Chain A
């Protein structure tokens, strides 16, 4: 089964997101910040990543830049999922190699549509 790495410092959000991606047929792996996420990617590159922006230790955007610099780091589809809803943030994310962008609050329909749009479901 394809894996989806869910990166968010909120346990509640991770739980909600886990349920949604599992319903879409992925196995979920959780990480509570960018640096934990990065070590998960070093262990095994996930198929896709649902990524929060503001997190302790390492932010989502810093994680994304580090990921895209890794060998095979261009492979996973990365979908931001954050309360940052300003155009400037969205543009920064796209420039850093994000594939899609979800502005919180989100629901399963939105996640599903975005996953369809990047071609992973």
Chain B
């Protein structure tokens, strides 16, 4: 059943307030198809009943609506380039600025089903000898409880592992379970998962050396993007780095970050030690 334009507005406002997601009228079909799946999941008879529950302020239903509208697409070593930069540029630069023995704090701020933080953990493991002397902390957060459960389980289908995991690393760090692949505990234990909404205050994360905030700001309105980036700026050390997605930029959104010279997708604070 199609949503009336009033109903559409109701969902639009809910999504904007709860997750920052900005949907325009031309995405009404997406809202409808996701809500039609959601009523089946929640065993609600029709979308009119769903809408009534949203109107009544049903907290669980609202949370489910928000989660149902997220796009969770991700894969291991997505775009490759940022992960090469992480290993070859970012970490060596941070080593120059932090004493040996200190902890390098990495935050994946919209980690989806875990492929991004686990890719980082594998890089750290693969280069353990080179990076010896430093400790690493990987915090991975997402808004969606369901996707965090998937991330923590660290069990991936054949299709998911093939989209990015090099075969030698698959053999080395995964165990086969039927047609699924289960990540080994030594890698799993390197990542700490936690629920976090990017719209919330970030002070509790202290100071971070590296933040991955990839392929999530694209779904936000300009004001929301700039607000999140300002918050991130407060959290990132002056020798720190921010990774955005391939289609994302700070140009026209915030002046808190600058593109690192010659490095696509790699950002530094505007008052970075590298400038």
Q: Given A103-B158, A106-B162, do A85 and B167 touch, yes or no (CB 8 Å)? A: no
Q: Given A85-B158, A103-B158, do A94 and B166 touch, yes or no (CB 8 Å)? A: no
Residues of A in contact with B, size category: 10 to 19
**B223, chain A: closest CB distance, angstroms:** 34
* 25 pairs of residues in contact across A and B, judged by CB atoms under 8 Å: A85-B158, A86-B176, A87-B176, A90-B167, A90-B170, A90-B171, A91-B171, A94-B167, A94-B171, A98-B167, A100-B167, A101-B167, A102-B162, A103-B158, A109-B163, A110-B159, A110-B162, A110-B163, A113-B162, A113-B163, A113-B164, A114-B162, A116-B80, A117-B80, A117-B166
Q: Given A87-B171, A87-B176, A91-B171, do A103 and B162 touch, yes or no (CB 8 Å)? A: yes
CB of B179 closer than 8 Å to a CB of A: yes
Q: Which A residues are in CB contact (< 8 Å) with B170? A: 90
CB of B168 closer than 8 Å to a CB of A: yes
- When C-beta atoms are compared, the residue in chain A nearest to B167 turns out to be A101
Q: Which B residues are in CB contact (< 8 Å) with A90? A: 167, 170-171
Question: What is the interface of chain B, defined by CB distance below 8 A to chain A?
Answer: 80, 158-159, 162-164, 166-168, 170-171, 176, 179
Q: Which B residues are in CB contact (< 8 Å) with A113? A: 162-164
Give the docked Cα–Cα distance between A71 and B41 (Å).
Answer: 60
- When C-beta atoms are compared, the residue in chain B nearest to A90 turns out to be B171
Give the docked Cα–Cα distance between A38 and B133 (Å).
Answer: 50
Q: Which of the residues A87, A94, A106 comes within 8 Å of B168, measured between beta carbons?
A: A94
**Majority secondary structure, A binding face:** helix
Q: Which A residues are in CB contact (< 8 Å) with B163? A: 109-110, 113
Contact A85 B179 (CB under 8 A): yes
**A121, chain B: closest CB distance, angstroms:** 12
Q: Which A residues are in CB contact (< 8 Å) with B164? A: 113
**B90, chain A: closest CB distance, angstroms:** 21
**A86, chain B: closest CB distance, angstroms:** 7
- When C-beta atoms are compared, the residue in chain B nearest to A79 turns out to be B167
Give the docked Cα–Cα distance between A87 and B177 (Å).
Answer: 10
**B85, chain A: closest CB distance, angstroms:** 16
Give the docked Cα–Cα distance between A98 and B159 (Å).
Answer: 20
Q: In residues 63-121 of chain A, which contact B (Cβ within 8 Å)?
A: 85-87, 90-91, 94, 98, 100-103, 106, 109-110, 113-114, 116-117
- When C-beta atoms are compared, the residue in chain A nearest to B181 turns out to be A87
- When C-beta atoms are compared, the residue in chain B nearest to A102 turns out to be B162
Closest 3 CB pairs of A and B: A101-B167, A87-B176, A110-B162
Q: Which A residues are in CB contact (< 8 Å) with B179? A: 85
Q: In residues 30-44 of chain A, which contact B (Cβ within 8 Å)?
A: none
- When C-beta atoms are compared, the residue in chain A nearest to B175 turns out to be A87
Further 18 A-B residue pairs, CB within 8 A, beyond A102-B162, A114-B162: A85-B158, A87-B171, A90-B167, A90-B171, A94-B167, A94-B168, A98-B167, A100-B166, A101-B167, A103-B162, A106-B162, A109-B163, A110-B162, A110-B163, A113-B163, A113-B164, A116-B80, A117-B166
Give the docked Cα–Cα distance between A101 and B164 (Å).
Answer: 12
**B235, chain A: closest CB distance, angstroms:** 32
Q: Which B residues are in CB contact (< 8 Å) with A102? A: 162
**A106, chain B: closest CB distance, angstroms:** 7
**A65, chain B: closest CB distance, angstroms:** 18
- When C-beta atoms are compared, the residue in chain A nearest to B176 turns out to be A87
Indicate with 1 or 0, residue by residue over A12-31, a CB within 8 angstroms of chain B CB atoms: 00000000000000000000
Give the docked Cα–Cα distance between A76 and B166 (Å).
Answer: 18
Give the docked Cα–Cα distance between A103 and B215 (Å).
Answer: 28
**B212, chain A: closest CB distance, angstroms:** 19
- When C-beta atoms are compared, the residue in chain B nearest to A116 turns out to be B80
